[in-house]
Structure 1
């Protein structure tokens, strides 16, 4: 049996104001090709299917088309809700979809009810879907501390109880125990693309500071999953191995510039004899890729070393001492998909000798005052042409005042 572990599709997401739907469509087409070409028996989608609780219509349509394509390629789907999803909306129609091989787990009270999968070679697996668990709500309901680790321990305890009661399959064949979960595992490497799930904090927007989004309060030790055959994690966007049997697939696309060096894809999980015998990477280089560039503007515009970035979404940092004139406009002549522009002088920003209020008092003339304002705001002195325009405007203002 071959299982394909994926997560964090975030359908409907935008990237610095740019829609990602076509890139998401391209990478999901590659996922479906993997299902078809590798003979995948089931796709495990570990949460954050959508980017928000109320996804746009085109994102819902893309999910519908992708699930139909996976089914047509011969695989079943096990899908859970993440912290970005609305569990109720994602779970709508779940019992009906199960009849066609799309199994949705969004209700915490059903997490110990496995989906029993049989591969094309007769292998069997019990797949348990743990949706994102909100500790503040479930801790009280389950009689445990309202924190991520105790709540997840209770969820896994219920799964172990079911496995023990179930034993081997009815005809004596062993069952591989596979679990989907959406959480921050202790020791995992996050990025600024993930929303914080630390207790007491719920961010609902994109941010550029990774530390603002990825905390430590919500981290769950990997030891919680000891003894299970495979744990398919979602939430962190970088593909990574927490233990041989506990892994993040990462997101199929980069959703922050902090992910630009990551290879995106999933894991192919091979099950034989009721155990996981091999896990291999599968890459999906779909959609427009990212680039992070830095240097003097002349080098960025002229050096052949940056040609690889010309068709990518770009974050660029210009390191000239003064902010170059029309810097973003000039950069877009070579890199038309610049989304983030920064000016950070290579030698560091010089501390201002005077506050703006002091400079205002000390300006010897109105012209010095206005050109000083230009320099203060944009960190580049006014050009001769700009100085002339300001002088003309000041003269016109004085003449008008004299005529009043």
Structure 2
């Protein structure tokens, strides 16, 4: 049997305000071609199908079309919810969907009830462990153990017990959404730590042929049978070096026979660049960045005004700007007590502008600040008279 392991689709996610639905549909629809070309029997999605618990109608439509294409290509699907999904919503109509080859494993109480598929060597049991929020899961499982390690240990105990009850020769795959020790995170995952340590040891998942992990967005191998597929698209600039991919998992009569990697297309390359704004806007060497999602670090001594809009005239997909002035900037790290002692509000405000921008206020800006403070002072002086007038009128 050949299984395609993917996860963390996050359908509906944006990238620094840019809509990714078209890119997501393009990349994910390509999985159907992979299913057909590689003769994949089943596709597993280990959590975070959507980016939010209540996805938009457009996100649901994209997901529906993608799943339909994969099913039409000949693969059955097994999906578990991640920490971004709503398990009850994702699992709605699960019994009806299963009749069409879409298996939604969303209930904690049923995590030890696998989807059983057959090949010429016999049965393969696919166990879907939904994302387990520690405290609710502890109560659902009826255990005293706390934290992610506690609930996942109990979940895997139940999986192994069910597997043993099925007799020898049954091969097994577990889908789980968790942070396993040794995995490398990126900047785009939402933390799953709630009042405790979020990581679990890889040994928790011993006893099965393959563990299809979700949650971390970089593809990685923790052991031959223990892997993250990662997200199909990059969702932060920390993933610029990732080679987005899926795993093709082969099972023979004896269990895990091999795992192969298949890279996914990149709709738009991520890039970062550092430099002075004027140089970035004119130097020929930066023309290669015109079609990239771009994160820019500006080194100008004075913070440029309207920098992102100006950059987007040359780099339409520039989405993020940081200002990190070179040494010698007027910007300094100021201590509050020494900054305000024996100084007027106007002087303090001018220093604030200087510290934030790297340049002193212009004469017109300084005059505007002075007028603003004068207006506030006049209003404060007039307030007691207004209060007396209100009392007399009453």
Q: 2 CA distance for matches of 1:108 and 1:56?
A: 25
Shift of 1:157: 0.9
Alignment of 1:250-289 (within 5 A): 250-289=230-269
| Alignment-derived partner of residue 134 in structure 1 | 133
Single out whichever of 269-278 and 176-185 deviates more from structure 2: 269-278
Alpha-carbon spacing, 1:344–1:130, altered in 2? closer, same or farther (3 Å): same
Write out aligned runs for 1:4-403 (5 A): 4-119=4-119, 124-140=123-139, 141-168=141-168, 174-200=169-195, 217-347=197-327, 350-351=331-332, 357=340, 361=344, 375-381=354-360, 387=363
Distance in 2 between residues matched to 1:70 and 1:127, nearest whole Å: 18
- The offset of 1:161, in angstroms, is 0.8
Residues in 1 aligned to 2:5 and 2:103: alpha-carbon distance in whole angstroms: 15
Could you tell me how far 1:35 is from its partner in structure 2? Answer: 1.2
CA separation of 1:34 and 1:80: change in aligned 2, threshold 3 A: same
Q: 1:337 to 1:95 in 2, by over 3 A?
A: same
| Alpha-carbon shift at residue 307 of structure 1 (Å) | 3.1
By how many angstroms is 1:12 displaced? 1.4
User: How much has 1:70 moved relative to structure 2?
Assistant: 0.7
Note the residue ranges of structure 1 that are not aligned, 5 or more in a row: 169-173, 201-215, 398-404
Question: What is the deviation of 1:193?
Answer: 0.9
- Deviation at residue 332 of structure 1 after TM alignment: 1.5
Seen in structure 2, the aligned counterparts of structure 1 residues 224 and 359 have a Cα distance that, compared at 3 Å, is: same
Structure 2 residue ranges without an equivalent (≥5): 373-394
Give the Cα separation in 1 of the matches to 2:333 and 2:188: 35
CA distance in 1, matches of 2:221, 2:302: 44
> How many aligned residue pairs are there?
368
